[in-house]
Amino acid sequence: MTESVPPQKKRVVLCRGQYCNMDRRADAILKVLEPQIDAINDAAGWRRAKLETANCLGMCGLGPNLVIYPDDVVFDRLNPGRVGEVLAALHALLGDDPPPAP
């Protein structure tokens, strides 16, 4: 008999520090990202990914920055148009099947 083991929970940490959120650019990313993370969790029925914000991730000059833990996958110079890249990486890290080709 095999047991199914749920994939490891991930932390998606978006920096909203002074540099990363200059001109509210991190807030714009958060606005796009949050409902997508909610959808992933709602579809699973449990919180597979936890969205968090940070005051600084220690790489300000490359911001806005986001890190997926515990895998340490870093996205720098992020913008709302690149949220799809974050979601693709998150799905891959969660072990999800790739989405069907358009």
Q: How far is the CB of 91 from ligand FES (least distance, A)?
A: 25
Q: How far is the CB of 74 from ligand FES (least distance, A)?
A: 10
Positions in the binding site for ligand FES (CB under 6 A): 15, 17-20, 56-60, 63, 65
Instruction: Give the CA count within 13 Å in the CB-facing half-sphere of 36.
Output: 16
Q: What span, in angstroms and rounded, lies between the C-alpha atoms of 35 and 68? A: 17
The structure tokens listed for 83 are 């949220």
Comparison of 76 and 96: residue with beta carbon closer to ligand FES: 76
Q: Do the beta carbons of residue 22 and residue 102 sit within 8 Å?
A: no
Q: How far is the CB of 18 from ligand FES (least distance, A)?
A: 6
Comparison of 8 and 55: residue with beta carbon closer to ligand FES: 55
Longest dimension (CA), the chain: 55
